[in-house]
Amino acid sequence: MSSLNRLFVVLLFDGVDLLDVTGPPEVFALLQRETGSAQGYHVVLAAETMDAVTTSAGVRILPDLTFEEAAARSIDTLMVPGSVEIDGQSRVHAVTDAAVVHWVKELAGRSRRIASVCVGAHLLAAAGLLDGRRATTHWSTAQQLAADHPAVEVDADPIFIRDQDVWTGAGITACLDLSLALVAEDFGEAIALRVARQLVMYLKRPSGQSQFSVPIEPLSTTRRMDDIRHHITGNITGRLTVTDLAEHAHVSERQLTRIFKTELGTTPAAYIEAARVEVARNHLESTDDTLERVASASGFNTPDTLIRAFRRKLNTTPTEYRSRFRHTPT
């Protein structure tokens, strides 16, 4: 199938996130370069009118056609980016414009496959396209998506999710991972990996890869919680039971659990497991240590415990993770 037969429509509207719009076309341009333009997509940008659209970054983009014109075409893939606004308390909210939602629903009916990137999932949900489906979005708006659309099974952890012909991606650079996954589905893993190398993305990330890691989680709001977190990091291979942590923090076990829930939104056990998974990930990416050594260095003690934790947290195995992310020194 030639590129002209694979019409890839990206929606444009005022305030849209710039990388959501430009990221996927960059991936597809490299696809055509890697295959000598023999395979790929015909990417077009569609907006309500032909006037320039101002993105969230202030960059103005000209559409290729209108929503109405796009609706007259047979669309291979419809990609829906998103837009956010910040309230007076510095909280992020996804924006859903009724006119855009209308066209998302209209164009989806003309499309073989639908995908959203970042908070574009809110537009799909508002159009009723995610009801009864599992979906993801940027972690900062996941609670909003779940609250606004209870019929959607929201999972804020993976970088992207495929539910039959509907794909949803997390934020923001995950649009590249999702685009590579589309390339892999349409043209094969080998070509997708060639494109990933050109993007200096070492290897293509699996969909189950978490969009979270312990070091980038929000900082705690109290010095006591900081001390507990640092204690966990510094004693990752040691005994880290709730009882031990409570004694270290000079609080009751019940109070410790309440502190974790209030300040980090998780339980002590879940946080410790996430921290150990993070250590294991770093070892898998940077060393050739056996799974026994990785398990010992990260506090899991046995490979079986390590494997179970990886399946819970990342929906993959340590071996698969290493095959995709091992950084080989040059």
Specify the higher pLDDT residue, 238 or 198. 238
Q: Are residues 223 and 139 in the same domain?
A: no
Residue 177 domain-assigned (yes or no): yes
User: Is the pLDDT score of 249 beyond 50?
Assistant: yes
Q: Are residues 173 and 266 in the same domain?
A: no
DSSP 8-state symbol, 64: S
Q: Residues of the chain with pLDDT > 70: what percent? A: 88
Examine residue 105 and state whether it is found in any structural domain, yes or no: yes
Please tell me whether residues 13 and 156 are part of one structural domain: yes
CB 118 within 8 A of CB 137: yes
List the Cα angle 48/50/56 in 5-degree steps: 70
Q: What is the mean pLDDT of residues 129-148?
A: 93
273 and 141 part of one domain: no
Q: Tell me: pLDDT of 269 over 90.
A: yes
Whether residues 256 and 224 share a domain: the answer is yes
Q: What is the CATH number of the domain that holds 286?
A: 1.10.10.60
pLDDT of residue 303: 95
The range of the structural domain enclosing residue 194 comes to 3-198
Residues 6+ away with beta carbon under 8 Å from 97:
13
In a domain, 300, yes or no: yes
CB 145 within 8 A of CB 154: yes
Average pLDDT, the chain: 87
Cα 99 from chain centre:
26
**Residues 219, 193 share a domain:** no
Confidence of residue 302 (pLDDT cuts 50, 70, 90): very high
Residue 206, in any domain of the structure:
no
pLDDT tens string 159-213 = 889 999 999 998 767 888 899 889 989 988 888 888 887 876 544 455 555 555 5
- End of a domain among 131, 165, 198? 198
The better pLDDT of the pair 279, 316 is held by 279
CA-nearest of 123, 143, 121, 144 to 134 is: 121
Would you place residue 4 in the very low, low, confident or very high pLDDT band (cuts 50, 70, 90)? very low
Residues 253 and 169 in one domain: no
- Residue pair 181/207 in contact (Cβ under 8 Å)? The answer is yes
Statement to judge: residues 42 and 138 lie in one domain? yes
Q: Higher model confidence: residue 263 or residue 211?
A: 263
Task: Determine the Cα–Cα distance for residues 172 and 117; give it in Å rounded to an integer.
Answer: 7
Question: Is residue 204 in a domain?
Answer: no
In a domain, 278, yes or no: yes
**Would you say residue 209 lies in a domain?**
no
Residues 6+ apart with CB under 8 A from 32: 3, 39, 40
CATH code, 7: 3.40.50.880
Say yes or no: 117 and 190 in one domain: yes
Domain count for the chain = 2
Asked if 306 and 273 touch (Cβ cutoff 8 Å), the reply is: no
- Given a cut of 50, whether residue 221 has pLDDT beyond it is yes
